[in-house]
Amino acid sequence: MHDLAIQLVGASGAASATTAAAVTAPYLRFIPLAPLVGMLFHVLLGYRLGRTAVGVVACGAVAISFALATRAFLAVMGAPEGTALVDPVYQWLASGEFSANVAFRVDALSSVMIMIVTGVGFLIHLYSTAYMSHDESYARFFAYLNLFMAAMLVLVLGDNLPLMFVGWEGVGLCSYLLIGFWYADPDKASAGKKAFLVNRIGDAAFLLGAFTLFWALADMGHASLAFADINAHATSLPDGVALAAALLLFVGATGKSAQIPLYVWLPDAMAGPTPVSALIHAATMVTAGVYMVARLHGLFEAAPMALQVIAVIGAATALMAATIGIAQNDIKKVLAYSTVSQLGYMFMALGVGAFAAGIFHVMTHAFFKALLFLGAGSVIHGLHEQQDIRAMGGVREKMPITHATFLVGVLAIAGVPGLSGFFSKDEILASAFAGGHYGIWLVGVLGAGMTAFYMTRLYVLTFRGTFRGDHHTWDHAHESPLPMTVPLMVLAALAIVGGYVGIPHALGGHNAFGGYLAPSVGHHELGLSVATELGLMAVSVAAGLLGIAIAWRMYTVEPEADADIAGRLRGLYRSMGEAYRIDALYDRAIVQPLMRVSDFLWRTVDVVFIDGIANGSATAARSIGGVWRQWSTGNVQHYMLTVLIGVALVVLAVSIGVAG
């Protein structure tokens, strides 16, 4: 089925300048197509054929995608370095010299991404069949979920910017649909709306960046938005243009990947079902921004200032979100801010030029964050929809599997050596230090400590000690069924071993992951001595262990420790708990003025002016008509008078000589 003819890639764009080898692989299109077909099934037949059918089709579709993704991945891995699989499906946009096609391309970078998306996606679909089993909108849920998979895969597989944007928008839409899944609750519906609107701002910036890029490239004679072309010609772009485009695209990434300033939608997004939080807001969609920057590494490298900005924002976000996470009491909110924080780490990596490290962290984060979210879902499910950790405790007795897997996740995210999180986080910090970004490095270390702290706090308050909720809930608490626990176990295993593909040189490995990704994102040599690297490792591990220790001490001894802190730090703690009231700030500074402008436009421009014109012309027509109407008196003599006057006028005109 796959044609082994090697051809110069011309997947899209007339002036493509890439010379990488490409292999046609017509099966690529089925990777996003399978979930799309699944969605159609759910929409058309879902409610008629029942839950089992829906579950089977949903998971089956993703399984097909996973199988094909594996095949593609193995093909790329086995092929010479730099080879990519392409599948040009059809010509989509064409205007003059420019063309953008629906064409899919799997190179090293996207092969990793599709494995993550389909693999973790499959596990979450499986989990959802049990988690959502009591919901009456079962088919609708899986329709949205499959649609999301399709969109995300299009995003990752597309070989040009417009096609990626299609996927970008698609995942945004599905995010909105799934966050507001239980739309009957106005708060949940609002959360969905908020996510969509904030994303939209980012999307606008994305588009502006794309336009800038295209305008500049077309000026230079390369009218194309294929990634290969962009990366190839990025260095010949004027500096200001490259910077502007890079920054605009990055703003788009802050929207999608929840960085400062557009992260505010992610904590609210926890209103959606937990599998949604796991899939979209932990493992896949939020990494789209990271993927995009990595994919366009050529452009960003051509604008070093942009990379600086990215690194700084990533670091700031990582730190800020961590501080907020310490003071949260909703199990999902803690994980949400943790996600924001970890995404900050990924951007830190990108910002210091270690693109492969960023993607590495994407992968490990997908494993352990999905694991943590699914575990939280399991707890919520088992404790009958309880989400406040102050009303939990001692859950490990009732839910052993959940407890064990969750613990693995906590250790992974805290950067305990031997687990995946350690390797990826460490590589990021080492890259920062090696690049001379000591400030970034320091922030990263602090963040790591805090991460360890609040995750341990979460773990202790949830699983250890005695249960602090009500009896009824405790009596009915139970472990989750197999479709939920199996994915937990698989993810736990991945969270443990997932890091071994990237064992750094210092520890004797050869960083297979980084090497594998090099053709796609460039090679990044650390240039540190083994001793320095080990030293850095020790520092970050120490920070992590310190955080764990302090939290363990505090919360196992006194689960109500938060109350003491609240008492002593009062204002600071409260504002941390309220996420520094950033939402209120946005509301006052941006939303309210916009509403006032909109209100003015409505009241004055629309109602008075435009409606005035419309109604006014009607009124004018009516009054003119009212005047003329009086001529139709019904009295024939009046009509005759009119005729007579007309005759008189004609005669007058003739005799004057004007007419006739």
Name the token pair of 419.
Answer: 């687990």
Question: Of 608, 637, 658, 659, which one interacts with another protein (CB under 8 A)?
Answer: 637
Which residue lies nearer to another protein by CB, 571 or 634? 634
Side chain identity, residue 242: A
Nearest residue (CB) to another protein, 591 versus 652: 652
Minimum CB distance to another protein smaller for 497 or for 652: 652
Q: Which of 195, 429, 447, 426 is nearest to 324 (CA)?
A: 447
Considering the rule CB under 8 A, would residue 644 count as an interface residue with another protein?
Answer: yes
CB 374 within 8 A of CB 122: no
Report how far Cα 545 is from the mean position of its chain's Cα atoms.
30
Are 401 and 390 in contact, with CB atoms under 8 Å apart?
A: no
Residue 574's CB is within 10 A of a number of other CB atoms, namely 12
What kind and span of H or E run contains 87?
strand 84-95
Number of residues that bind another protein (CB under 8 A): 20
Please give the residues from 468 up to 487 whose contact with another protein meets the rule CB under 8 A. none
Q: Which is nearer to another protein, 549 or 645 (CB)?
A: 645
Contacting range for another protein; rule: CB under 8 A; set: 146-154, 214-222, 241-249, 638-646: 638-646
635 counts as binding another protein under rule CB under 8 A: yes
Contact between 632 and another protein per CB under 8 A: yes
Taking CB under 8 A as the rule, does residue 633 contact another protein?
yes
Residues 62 and 487: their CA atoms lie apart, in Å, by: 14
Half-sphere exposure for 634 (CA within 13 Å, toward CB): 0
What is the C-alpha separation between 42 and 142, in angstroms, rounded?
7
The answer to the question of residue 651 lying near another protein (CB under 8 A) is yes
- Closer by beta carbon to another protein, 595 or else 659: 659
82 φ, ψ to 5°? Answer: 90, -5
Query: Residue 30 and residue 37: Cα distance in Å, rounded?
Result: 10
* 77 forms part of the interface with another protein (CB under 8 A): no
Q: Which of 528, 638, 658, 659 binds another protein (CB under 8 A)?
A: 638
Residue 634 binds another protein (CB under 8 A): yes
For another protein, the closer of residues 592 and 655 by Cβ is 655
Q: Binding to another protein by residue 629, rule CB under 8 A?
A: yes
Q: Report if residue 658 touches another protein, rule: CB under 8 A.
A: no
Instruction: Report the C-alpha gap between 549 and 546 in whole angstroms.
Output: 5
Dihedral Cα 290, 143, 490, 167, nearest 10 deg: -20
d(CA 467, CA 388): 12
Give me the least distance between CB of 633 and another protein, in Å please. Answer: 6
Minimum CB distance to another protein smaller for 610 or for 648: 648
Q: Rule CB under 8 A: choose which of 563, 601, 610, 645 binds another protein.
A: 645
Question: In the set 482, 610, 654, 659, which binds another protein (CB under 8 A)?
Answer: 654
Report the candidate in 325, 330, 329 with the shortest Cα–Cα distance to residue 274: 330
Among 90, 475, 568, 631, binds another protein (CB under 8 A): 631
Q: Which amino acid is at 612?
A: G
Amino acid, single-letter form, for residue 42: H
CB of 96 or CB of 634, closer to another protein: 634
| 438 vs 639 by CB, closer to another protein | 639
Q: Do 289 and 259 meet the contact criterion of CB atoms below 8 Å apart?
A: yes
* DSSP secondary structure letter of residue 602: I
In the complex, minimum distance from the CB of residue 631 to another protein, in angstroms, rounded to a whole number: 7
CB-nearer residue toward another protein: 6 or 621 = 621
d(CA 97, CA 304): 30
Q: Could you tell me the smallest distance in angstroms from the CB atom of residue 624 to another protein?
A: 14
Binding residue for another protein, selected from 77, 591, 613, 652, defined by CB under 8 A:
652
Beta bridge partners of 604: none
Task: Based on the shown chain and the rule CB under 8 A, indicate whether residue 95 belongs to the binding site for another protein.
Answer: no
Binding segment toward another protein, per CB under 8 A, in 39-47, 76-84, 248-256, 651-659: 651-659
Q: How far is the CB of 196 from another protein (least distance, A)?
A: 56
d(CA 300, CA 353): 9
Nearer to another protein, 52 or 635 (CB): 635
Q: Which residue, 523 or 638, is less far from another protein as judged by CB?
A: 638
Query: Binding to another protein by residue 588, rule CB under 8 A?
Result: no
Among 530, 542, 640, 659, binds another protein (CB under 8 A): 640
Residues 6+ apart with CB under 8 A from 439: 315
CB of 650 to another protein, least distance (A): 9
- Minimum gap (Å) between residue 622 Cβ and another protein: 14
Q: How many angstroms separate the Cα of 606 from the Cα of each of 239, 345, 613, 617?
A: 43, 47, 10, 15
Q: Does 655 bind another protein (CB under 8 A)?
A: yes
Answer yes or no whether residue 659 interacts with another protein by CB under 8 A.
Answer: no
Q: Which residues contact 44 (CB under 8 A, 6 or more apart)?
A: none
Q: Residues with Cβ < 8 Å from 368, sequence gap 6 or more?
A: 408, 409, 412, 413, 419, 420, 421, 491, 495
Q: By CB under 8 A, is residue 641 in contact with another protein?
A: yes
Q: How far is CA 644 from CA 168, 638, 647, 649, in A?
A: 76, 10, 5, 9
CB closer to another protein, 612 vs 646: 646
Instruction: Point out which residues bind another protein (CB under 8 A).
Output: 629-638, 640-641, 644-645, 647-648, 651-652, 654-655
